[in-house]
Amino acid sequence: MDMKHRGEGSLHGLALLGGSEDVRARGLALLREAVAIREDQSGAFMAHREPLSVAYESYARGLLAVGRPGEALEYLERSEGLHRAEFGRGTWRVRGLLRLRFEAVLNKGALASADLIGQALLEESANHKEWSDYLDDAEWLADRYAATGHPVAAGYFLRAGRARALELQLPHRVERFEYLLNEVRQH
């Protein structure tokens, strides 16, 4: 993508969030068209499949914006699969894709699947010894659960974060997790 088109994705994203039904449908159609173009390029001559992974992610974000989490999940899984195949390990994009998958599954009300994705998100950080990400993700997962009325699940991830913070000897993070656990218990 050249520099003059860099901002277009942001504009389409805003249109998907706040535009009229026609604007939203048009934005989603444009994202789907971009996916089709990348799929054609990928099959024809693209050595690297990361641009297709990014196109899948963009389309999934559009689907999430218009309230279609079931369809978004399919494209998020495709995006993650291509990305992992391209790089052979987890990256910052895997973390973002797992977060998006978690949101989509939680929005569908599939708590068992959300729990599995949440655990996979923490495992991704633990496997790479990215402890700051682990702690941030534990808090983020708990926040998402608490915001959707699932305090038991929120408590599970807060306790996981607190346990890791204790292992890492980070008293300020331990205190933060304890504070959040008390907040969850009170609501």
Domain extent listing, the chain:
1-108, 127-187
Return mean pLDDT, the chain: 84
pTM for the structure as a whole? 0.79
More confident residue, 54 or 174: 174
168 within 8 A of 160, measured Cβ to Cβ: no
The tens digit of pLDDT for each residue in 14-34 reads 556 666 777 777 777 778 777
Which tens digits make up the pLDDT trace of 50-100? Answer: 888 888 899 899 888 888 898 999 999 999 988 888 886 667 888 999 999
Interatomic CA distance for residues 75 and 77, integer angstroms: 5
For residue 2, the surrounding DSSP H or E stretch is: none
User: Percent of the chain beyond pLDDT 90?
Assistant: 51
